[in-house]
Structure 1
Amino acid sequence: MVTRLRDGWMFLLGIVLCFAILKVEGVKREDFKACAQSGFCRRNRAIADEAASSSSWTSPFELVSKTLTVKDNAVSGYIKNTKSSSLLTFEVQVLQNGVARIRINENEPIKPRYEQTAEWTLVSNLPAKTEAKIIKKSDNEAVIPMQVPGVESASMVIHAKPLRIDFLVNDTPVLTLNERGLLNLEELRRKDEPKLVDQSDSSESKVETGEWEETFKTWTDPKPNGPESVALDVTFPGFSHVYGIPEHASTFSLKETRGGENAHSDPYRLYNLDVFEYETDNPMALYGSVPFMVAHNPEHSVGLFWMNAAETWIDIVKTTETEGFHLFKHKGKTSTTQTHWISEAGIIDVFVMLGPTPKDVLKQYISLTGAPAMPPAFSIAAHQCRWNYLSSKDVAMVDAGFDEHDIPNDVIWLDIEHTDGKKYFTWDYAKFPDPEKMQNELAAKGRKLVTIIDPHIKRDDGYYIYKEARDANLFIKTPDGNDYDGWCWPGSSSWIDYTNPLAREWWIKKFKFDDYKSSTPALHVWNDMNEPSVFNGPEITAPKEMIHHGGWEHRVLHNVYGQIYHGATAKAVSVREETPKRSFVLSRAFFAGTQRYGAIWTGDNTASWEHLRNSNPMLLSIGLAGIPFNGADVGGFFGNPSTELLLRWYQAGIFQPFFRAHAHIDTKRREPWLFGEPWTTRFRNALVERYKLLPYFYTLFHEAHALGVPVMRPMFFEFPQDERTFALEDQFMVGPALLVKPVVNEGQTVQSIYLPSGPNGSQIWYDYFTQKKVTLPSSGQEIKTTVGIEDIPVYLRGGSIVARRDRQRRSSYGMVYDPFTLIVALDEEGNAEGELYLDDGETFDYEKGAYIHHRFTFKNNRLTTQLLNTEPIAEDYASVMHKVRIERVVILGSKQDNGKLSKVVVHDPKGVTFDAGYKISKSKIVVRDPKLSIVESQWRLELKYQ
């Protein structure tokens, strides 16, 4: 009886907690820590304060030069803490692609420090290490040569006393470690042992607080291992702009955090948390953490990857050259960005990427953390979701609504209410009596279903998932060895320990069709709440002292937990059939390497103009951190958007990588036909445009898979020497060809757009919709354009060729055999080029070569193509696609000084020559049905002038 009463009260408490979370208006900042409330952040900031305030400050860490040795293509030695006389291990590896790895650890710790982040983050086939060479200049200086493709010379210069590491490209410093002397590693000790001499001479109260026990609100973190933080300052000399370290609702070009104009007062925090209705312009931690930063100036780009999955804070300070500490000189007056990286636990394990271009930095980064997954084709189309579609009948009505109003859609989603009592892998059969029939009816139209599966498992002995996991001992533990019991949507819950290989193997089996009852191949998955979100935990997450496989505390791997879960789910969905298929699994939590598994979104945003505006810089930051498949809830999750706001969000979302309309359970229904005309037509027009561009988006996702480059790109990515693009965040590039500036202000009727010039000066742009040409002078130019409610400012870059499919279908599946239109936008020289990538959209056969990849080139009035894939298996795929043709070629910007166009001649691959029909108006030529198959190469289309 006592147990039942206790459980009843706990259930009621869980309901209260859930409703408190549902009904809160705006983020409760007091639920989340600031740096001043985090002991290890305070202690390391105190060191920075002392270093900044003292002209005689010197780092106590020195490299013991005589210990430097070369073994297995790595340079290693010891670092001495001159205040404590203890030793740290030091290792440097140089990889073949212009990446250096530096590791610093305790030499003889009383227990191992966590180094396993690499297991979850790095790929197994890292670029090979180069032959390690040390050129000693003196007892205090050693040089390690580096080979960086695209630069004449590069090197790492190690200064011993005090330790400082400079990275030079063409004799110019681009990155320095420990320039300000903020290196710190709190050595493990037993609680009854005297403290080692600390690097800081700050007061005892300032340094000691929170080392062994720390209280935040009602929670106490016992910290059984005591203080164990690591920290290092990283300087980017000559760089005014740094980017990345998502996820934050802040500016794209990162702000200062310790003084400066319009600065944040706290460091950027990386700690995966459930911060719904988050504030904008704030460095607070959010749902994901990628400790990767890119610095860029007109001459160079560099990257830094701080591989640590514990809670991390990053301070940013910007100085002019004369104020900086750096010993090297730069050309002209430049700014320097100084950063300070602080993590609660683990070791110092950093990678430096020397570019030299933004694309090179991203390619180097994914060579470490893995190529972005090639998504299934349906997943880059439109998704419709809300919490919750109520029944099979509701799903059918929504599905029919898209058809009735001729609005394309590929996916309908089900949230937690579709389950039996929030028990994942189950169905509420009263509301969804025949889930297989429901999925099959969607699949007959080429549509999919996505169901939510969260990591919290309801503690219910009658629930087979819970019972199996408990009996197999697969849950995260409390320090006393019991299964952790926290609160989430089902009430009392436990969490699978996905760091345990047995747990991952078991989880993968749960998605088999005979185990996940009533699931079909048309079903894909949504991983939510995987930070993990714990309603009654500190900061709405798991306590740090919980124990994972191997005896590791949750604190050392918190930020990677959600990614491990995401990866296990993605694999499970891909291998549930005899022939593996590409999975679509959306995750809310993410870390470095998440791109290998699928898409993420920016979490529980709000239906406000502010959140619409902020979605652009957030997605740009995430894409620049190696995760190209990203999006924001279209329309805003919380609240009810005005019809104008919803439409403007659709117009922005169709040019973002992942498009999902989503809404909270308490919001009004907002399917795009519910607002009546002319709004239904406006929503339809926006979505139809997305579907037309699916071939272009799919080609960009292939490029992201191959090279790591974002689909949605910051302006400087394509115009790296134009400083006016460096802080632009309200407009962006979709691939190399399309410039988009969404309308993000209520009642806006005029939009200003900055159109950059090309590397050689002049640049031609075309209004994407009117196809009107805009010719720029020798430098970029800001233009103003009138924007009506239906207008989306989009510009096509001269010199581009974009492939589209212009026939309207109800889903992307219906477009598979549709013909293509090529939009050829000529540059000032009359040239253009572009690519088209095609595969079957669902299997992994593309990895064997079963795909079509064209490069189109227009030059000297001739359009030609080159097949970039000549693998024999490509012929099998080509035989399936041989009837797919190019039905139209639209050439923009044809020069009138060529004379009068007399005919368009097509030379097909068989040597047959014929005239194609065309229409000409001003500088636009439309060639109709040139009778060319999309699988063929070695043809040309030629404009003949009199």
Structure 2
Amino acid sequence: MRRPSRGSGVLLAALALPAALALAATPKPARAGDDAAPAPHAPRLTRSAGELTLTVPAGRTTPGYQLRVTTGQLALTTRRSGTTVLATPAGDTGALRFRTAGAWQHATRVTHWTWRNGALTLTAATTAPGATVQARITPAADRYQLDWQVEGAAPDRLGLAYDLKSAGHWYGHGEAQTPDGGPGTAQPWPLDSGQVVHPGFGPASYYMIDPFWYTSAATGLRVDTGQVMDVAINQGKDGLGRFDIESADAYKATVFVESTPLDVYRDYVGVVGKPAKSDASYRQYAEPVWNSWAQFYTHVDQAKLLDYAQDLHDAGITGHALQLDDKWESDYGNMTFDAKAYPDPKAMSDRIHALGFDFGLWVTLWINLDSDQYRYAADHGYLLRDAADTARPCTVTWWNGTAGIVDLGNPDAKAWYEGRLKSLMSAYGVDGLKFDTRFFDERCAPHAGYRPTDYQRLGAQLADEYDLQGVGIRVHWDAAAHRAGFVTRQVDKGTGWNSLRASVTQNLAISTIGYPFVATDMIGGSSGQPAPTKDVLVRWAQSAALMPLMYASTSPVDTTDPTTGKKVVYDAQTTALYREAIARHARLAPYLWDQVQHTLKTGDPIMRPLFFDFPHDRATYTIGDEWMLGPAVLAAPQLTDAPTRSIHLPPGTWYDVARGRTIKGGTTLKSYATPLGTTPVFVDLKAPGADKALRALR
């Protein structure tokens, strides 16, 4: 993954222009010869009063496009086939923005330009006295590179702004912070249908995010940075997308221009890389993993965990693994069991194995200050250093106290941590791990020779050595995270209908920024709200059964309400319907495994929005409660407490599994009845894999 250097000398040299020319009162035209006849299909530049136009002809597999640069007030408009598909905003916002001395400024009139060697370079005046913007635009067949920076001022932020409507609807981003509870209880789909207000959008974030956005007009934006961003999409319903970098380093962006959103996604994956393998095994796709967190939160012990496992087993609720989550250690970072709560961890592990589950443990690289290992780690230099004072360890506050973080950039620290981890696994028969928390924090300084973004790669490399048991890991932003092929689990969700709906749209967002092996948060939610109702729990299981993997915690037999401490007992129908959902997912496993293999070849997501497969069906671009599971299965489960729902079927011939009938597509089924035992799902009879999907779903 390309990253900007700390210094800007190379870009300055490349963009430097003679001072006299930069001060010209009007844009200086290119020299004679710069507009020499281009080779066939090569980009060409034309100029007219107040405008420069870059034209990239269509190719065999590319649609071609025009980029219009307005010179009187610098603005960028991308057009394809005579239609605008992306444009910077008019007015005072400015296309190329920067903040200096606490105030936002922007580029204004273009004062000089040249067109040489396939690149358009620009100098523009700005609203800041004495400051100019130096920019270079380099067109290619299906994209253009936009690199720019500020001279004559000392900005602390650089930003791009776009008029959202110019490109239709916006997607991508990953888990989005929103004013109405996102990402825990809300995830707008498309992004512009709500508001995204996401400061701290960066490579050390706990959220699964990448600086990539794409649109219904088949354009896309990738910001190539290792710095923290401040992203706002339709904030205050202003109709703008603002993508700001908290740094004065050169702003480097790629704008993709394609025929369909899927083509844009494939271009992006061509840059960041597709998975080299799947971290999860066939069995982990076929059966759910059970994790103790939402069932008990931190009120868990050996007896409770074994009772949990026994109840699942006796109810015929299958799973490939049972994981003990947070609150098993004597102190965070000790890697020793709390002797009072777990008098015989080896016997506990043996019993879980006897019930047919693998045994897993929750672990973290964060060592609390009161851990008996903290002082040892600090004294040996095994912890990340403080960014403001590298003479001392960095301390960070998290949901379990104050901690230091094991420095994976230090080979000795990594060896020490892994040695303790492997001893723990060997002693207690631990089959796999759930790595939680982050591998870096912006308050810390990276190890010598490393950058903050490198810790995504270091974390991915560490986790890749262990069985993650189908719950994956939360690494992002770096190419290593894309190529490792981890399962991606979502941030904690609430236990209501809004979180169930957010779990669907969030998976669509995560899987279409290059992380195709997705699971929702724990079925039923896990953020400490009242226990899920019967209907939410069942509908969530039915929904997850039509996704690549199932990640479970709340038992459909009984659970504990964390807000009251009282036991909640579900009825026999809850257990039966949950069991049916698991069985349906297991029958789909051969079809799902085929999709995994296809993804390893192409990088295409398994769970994806309908418009990836049906780009010409405009109705699909705002549907967030249906999705394609591979090319043949359309999932439309009920995600509300209503007795019916509307279902849109794109063009094609579809088999309605619930009603046993064939339907011609290009239609919307209104008031489709959805009693609790019914999960609407359809098979595209002419799609690859249709026969295998039909056998599974019937």
Q: Give me the TM-score of the superposition, normalised by structure 2.
A: 0.73
**Match status 1:476 vs 2:385:** yes
Aligned counterpart, 1:573 = 466
Aligned counterpart, 1:350 = 253
Aligned counterpart, 1:310 = 227
Counterpart among 252, 265, 270 of residue 362 in structure 1 = 265
What code does the residue aligned with 1:368 have?
V
Aligned counterpart, 1:290 = 210
Aligned counterpart, 1:798 = 685
CA–CA distance in structure 2, aligned partners of residues 713 and 303 of structure 1? 17
CA–CA distance in structure 2, aligned partners of residues 68 and 145 of structure 1? 24
Counterpart among 169, 190, 215 of residue 253 in structure 1 = 190
**Match status 1:77 vs 2:15:** yes
Query: Alpha carbons of 1:269 and 1:732: their partners in 2 closer, same or farther (altered >3 Å)?
Result: farther
**Match status 1:410 vs 2:320:** yes
| Matches for 1:161-176 after TM superposition, within 5 Å | 169=80, 174-175=85-86
What code does the residue aligned with 1:795 have?
F
Instruction: Determine if contact 1:270/1:290 at 8 Å carries over to the other structure.
Output: no
Deviations 1:487-514 (A, max 9, x none): 335544112344x353785377347634
Instruction: Determine if contact 1:304/1:352 at 8 Å carries over to the other structure.
Output: yes
Give unmatched runs, 5+ long, in structure 2.
1-9, 24-39, 103-123, 130-152, 177-185, 555-559
| Matches for 1:32-431 after TM superposition, within 5 Å | 76-78=14-16, 135=44, 137=46, 141=52, 143=54, 150-151=61-62, 153=64, 169=80, 174-175=85-86, 181-185=94-98, 199-200=126-127, 227-234=155-162, 239-248=167-176, 249-255=186-192, 264=195, 267-269=197-199, 271=201, 287-297=207-217, 301-316=218-233, 339-345=241-247, 346-372=249-275, 373-377=277-281, 378-380=283-285, 381-385=287-291, 386=293, 387-388=297-298, 390-423=300-333, 425-431=335-341
| Matches for 1:20-31 after TM superposition, within 5 Å | none
CA–CA distance in structure 1, aligned partners of residues 349 and 164 of structure 2? 53
CA–CA distance in structure 2, aligned partners of residues 160 and 423 of structure 1? 59
Instruction: Determine if contact 1:317/1:337 at 8 Å carries over to the other structure.
Output: yes
1:620 deviation in Å? 1.3
Instruction: Determine if contact 1:271/1:288 at 8 Å carries over to the other structure.
Output: no
Query: Alpha carbons of 1:396 and 1:348: their partners in 2 closer, same or farther (altered >3 Å)?
Result: same
Give unmatched runs, 5+ long, in structure 1.
1-66, 70-74, 86-130, 190-196, 203-224, 257-262, 275-284, 319-335, 533-541, 575-581, 758-762, 804-820, 825-888, 893-946
Moved more, 442-451 or 155-164: 155-164
CA–CA distance in structure 2, aligned partners of residues 636 and 890 of structure 1? 27
**Match status 1:623 vs 2:525:** no
CA–CA distance in structure 1, aligned partners of residues 410 and 78 of structure 2? 39
Counterpart among 604, 624, 641 of residue 532 in structure 2 = 641
Instruction: Determine if contact 2:84/2:167 at 8 Å carries over to the other structure.
Output: no
1:374 deviation in Å? 1.0
Aligned counterpart, 2:366 = 456
What's the secondary structure of 1:425's corresponding residue?
A: coil
1:231 deviation in Å? 0.8
Query: Alpha carbons of 1:236 and 1:647: their partners in 2 closer, same or farther (altered >3 Å)?
Result: closer
**Match status 1:785 vs 2:676:** no
What's the secondary structure of 1:494's corresponding residue?
A: strand
| Matches for 1:717-728 after TM superposition, within 5 Å | 717-728=612-623
Instruction: Determine if contact 1:474/1:503 at 8 Å carries over to the other structure.
Output: no
What code does the residue aligned with 1:340 have?
R
What's the secondary structure of 2:466's corresponding residue?
A: helix
Aligned counterpart, 1:526 = 434
1:781 deviation in Å? 2.6
Aligned counterpart, 1:686 = 581
Instruction: Determine if contact 1:525/1:586 at 8 Å carries over to the other structure.
Output: no
What code does the residue aligned with 1:480 have?
D
1:599 deviation in Å? 2.6
CA–CA distance in structure 2, aligned partners of residues 459 and 660 of structure 1? 32
What's the secondary structure of 2:616's corresponding residue?
A: coil
What's the secondary structure of 1:736's corresponding residue?
A: coil
1:375 deviation in Å? 2.9
1:725 deviation in Å? 0.9
Query: Alpha carbons of 1:735 and 1:268: their partners in 2 closer, same or farther (altered >3 Å)?
Result: same
CA–CA distance in structure 2, aligned partners of residues 636 and 583 of structure 1? 19
CA–CA distance in structure 2, aligned partners of residues 469 and 491 of structure 1? 17
Aligned counterpart, 1:666 = 562
Deviations 1:68-117 (A, max 9, x none): 99xxxxx95347999998xxxxxxxxxxxxxxxxxxxxxxxxxxxxxxxx
RMSD: 4.5
CA–CA distance in structure 2, aligned partners of residues 448 and 83 of structure 1? 70
1:561 deviation in Å? 7.9
| Matches for 1:502-901 after TM superposition, within 5 Å | 502=411, 505-506=414-415, 509-510=418-419, 513-514=422-423, 518=427, 520=429, 523-530=431-438, 546-550=444-448, 557=452, 560=453, 563-564=456-457, 566-573=459-466, 586-588=472-474, 590-591=476-477, 593=479, 594-597=481-484, 598-630=486-518, 631-637=520-526, 638=528, 639-662=530-553, 666=562, 674-746=569-641, 748-757=642-651, 763-776=652-665, 779-800=666-687, 802=689, 822-823=692-693
What's the secondary structure of 1:678's corresponding residue?
A: helix
CA–CA distance in structure 2, aligned partners of residues 486 and 344 of structure 1? 21
Instruction: Determine if contact 1:288/1:590 at 8 Å carries over to the other structure.
Output: yes
**Match status 1:493 vs 2:400:** no
Instruction: Determine if contact 2:435/2:463 at 8 Å carries over to the other structure.
Output: no
What's the secondary structure of 1:291's corresponding residue?
A: strand
Deviations 1:722-757 (A, max 9, x none): 1111111122221222222222222x2222211122
What code does the residue aligned with 1:749 have?
P
1:451 deviation in Å? 1.7
Query: Alpha carbons of 1:591 and 1:151: their partners in 2 closer, same or farther (altered >3 Å)?
Result: closer
What's the secondary structure of 1:363's corresponding residue?
A: helix
Deviations 1:630-659 (A, max 9, x none): 312211212211212211221122223342
Query: Alpha carbons of 1:431 and 1:147: their partners in 2 closer, same or farther (altered >3 Å)?
Result: farther
What's the secondary structure of 2:327's corresponding residue?
A: helix
CA–CA distance in structure 2, aligned partners of residues 81 and 341 of structure 1? 30
Instruction: Determine if contact 1:362/1:708 at 8 Å carries over to the other structure.
Output: no
Query: Alpha carbons of 1:643 and 1:338: their partners in 2 closer, same or farther (altered >3 Å)?
Result: closer
Q: Give me the TM-score of the superposition, normalised by structure 1.
A: 0.55
Deviations 1:776-821 (A, max 9, x none): 4xx3233332222211111122214648xxxxxxxxxxxxxxxxx8
CA–CA distance in structure 2, aligned partners of residues 229 and 84 of structure 1? 23
1:166 deviation in Å? 5.7
Instruction: Determine if contact 1:83/1:198 at 8 Å carries over to the other structure.
Output: no
Aligned counterpart, 1:282 = none
Instruction: Determine if contact 1:245/1:625 at 8 Å carries over to the other structure.
Output: yes
Q: Identical aligned pairs, as a percentage?
A: 19
Question: Which gives a bigger RCO, structure 1 or 2 (Cα 8 Å, sep 6+)?
Answer: 2
Query: Alpha carbons of 1:437 and 1:68: their partners in 2 closer, same or farther (altered >3 Å)?
Result: closer
1:696 deviation in Å? 1.8
1:472 deviation in Å? 2.9
CA–CA distance in structure 1, aligned partners of residues 67 and 246 of structure 2? 28
Q: Which has the larger radius of gyration?
A: 1
CA–CA distance in structure 2, aligned partners of residues 315 and 80 of structure 1? 36
Aligned counterpart, 1:837 = none
